[in-house]
């Protein structure tokens, strides 16, 4: 497996050093390898360092301990090969929905007309047709989130780092977006790291689910979860339900630990 690994995280620890207050160890000795075009989900209690891990792979934070390689090269800076959907959307508030989606395309090689068509296609895909000229401050939370998804998908990164990308969506929209994401993943051979709090979603979408421990975050276990994604009844299958229960138990343990450290 390590031979074909595209993203290799090796013994990575990360400390936050806020200007006031004490040092926070967010990650400790995290190791993980992800194959090319694999779909892996990252689960773990709030505050365990999931976003931090994505930021490190994205190249936004300095890697002080350990090593992260993508396609055999050490990560030193952000790049459009690793498209990030940020947990808090990180839209440009002075740009319209269309302007936001176009921004990533403007640095690409596509001619202008094609950029427009492509942006529009992804706006349609996330169901924001008619809101092209709205500013983020005029959108609901879920609409902002979908704009962020469209923006990242539009510039076609080979690797998708998605930080709770469906967190602000209602159940119906979420289910539609899951289908679209799987469709894109199956058609365009992307590698996806998908952070979520929804165990069922993780089991359904991903081929493997990595469960993280309470802070400082480590990889607790990695569970294989390759189910048939084209089966609409998969949610009812015995094996699926058992898998969700198993992982739910693991996450719960850590969530309780995380609570305990707060209480003390």
Partner 1 sequence: MAHVTGVRDRTSRGWRNAPASPFVARIGWGLARSASIVLLLAGWEILARSGTFTPFVLPALTSVLERILADAMSGDLFLGASATLYRALTGFLIAAVGGISLGMAMTRSIGIRWFFDPIISVGFPMPKIAFLPVVILWLGLYDVSKISMVAFEAIFPVVTATIVGIKGVDREIIWSARNMGASNRELLCQIMLPAAFPQIMTGLQVALPISLIVAIVTEMLMGGNGLGGGMMSASRFADSPGVFAGIVEIAAIGYCLIKGMSMLRRRMLLWHQEALEPSTV
Ligand X SMILES: Nc1ncnc2c1ncn2[C@@H]1O[C@H](COP(=O)(O)OP(=O)(O)OP(=O)(O)O)[C@@H](O)[C@H]1O
Which residues of the chain form contacts with partner 1 (CB under 8 A)? Answer: 55, 58, 60, 77-80, 82-84, 86, 88, 90-96, 103-104, 107, 135-138, 151-152, 155
Unique residue bearing structure tokens 């929905």: 97
Rounded to whole angstroms, how far apart are CA atoms 249 and 217?
17
* Position of minimal CB gap to Mg ion: 51
Q: Are 157 and 185 within 8 A, CB to CB?
A: no
What would the two tokens of residue 104 be? 């990533």
Is residue 24 a contact point for ligand X (CB under 6 A)?
Answer: yes
The residues with which 42 forms a beta bridge, in sequence order, are 195, 210
Q: What's the min distance (Å) between Cβ of 158 and partner 1?
A: 13
Q: Based on the shown chain and the rule CB under 6 A, indicate whether residue 162 belongs to the binding site for ligand X.
A: no
Sites for ligand X among residues 77-136 (CB under 6 A): 87
Nearer to ligand X, 53 or 181 (CB): 53
Choose one: 86-94, 118-126, 153-161, 217-225; the region binding Mg ion (CB under 5 A). 86-94
Compare residues 92 and 235 and give the one whose CB is closer to partner 1. Answer: 92
Write the burial class of residue 30 (CB in 10 Å: 0-12 exposed, 13-18 middle, 19+ buried): buried
User: Which 198-257 positions form the footprint of ligand X (CB under 6 A)?
Assistant: 215
* Least distance (Å) between residue 206 CB and partner 1: 22
CB of 136 to Mg ion, least distance (A): 20
């Amino acid at each position: 497996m390590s031979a074909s690994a595209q993203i290799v995280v090796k013994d990575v620890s990360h400390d936050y050093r806020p200007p006031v207050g004490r040092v926070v160890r967010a990650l400790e000795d995290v190791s993980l390898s992800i194959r090319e075009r694999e779909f892996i989900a990252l689960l773990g209690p709030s505050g365990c360092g999931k976003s931090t891990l994505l930021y490190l792979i994205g190249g936004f934070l300095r890697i002080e301990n350990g090593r992260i390689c993508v396609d055999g090269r050490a990560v030193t800076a952000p790049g459009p090969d690793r498209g990030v959907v940020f947990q808090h959307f990180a839209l440009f508030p002075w740009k319209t929905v269309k302007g936001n989606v176009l921004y990533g395309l403007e640095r690409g090689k596509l001619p202008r007309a094609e950029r427009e068509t492509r942006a529009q296609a992804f706006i349609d895909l996330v169901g924001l047709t008619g809101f092209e000229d709205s500013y983020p401050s005029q959108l609901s939370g879920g609409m902002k989130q979908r704009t962020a998804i469209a923006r990242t998908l539009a510039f076609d990164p080979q690797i998708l780092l998605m930080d709770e990308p469906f967190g602000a969506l209602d159940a119906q929209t979420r289910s539609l977006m899951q289908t679209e994401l799987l469709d894109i993943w199956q058609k365009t051979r992307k590698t996806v790291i998908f952070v979520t709090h929804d165990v069922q979603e993780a089991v359904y979408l991903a081929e493997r689910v990595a469960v993280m421990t309470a802070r400082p975050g480590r990889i607790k276990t990695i569970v294989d979860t390759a189910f048939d994604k084209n089966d609409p009844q998969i949610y009812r299958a015995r094996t699926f339900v058992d898998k969700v229960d198993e992982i739910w138990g693991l996450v719960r343990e850590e969530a309780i630990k995380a609570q305990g450290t707060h209480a003390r």
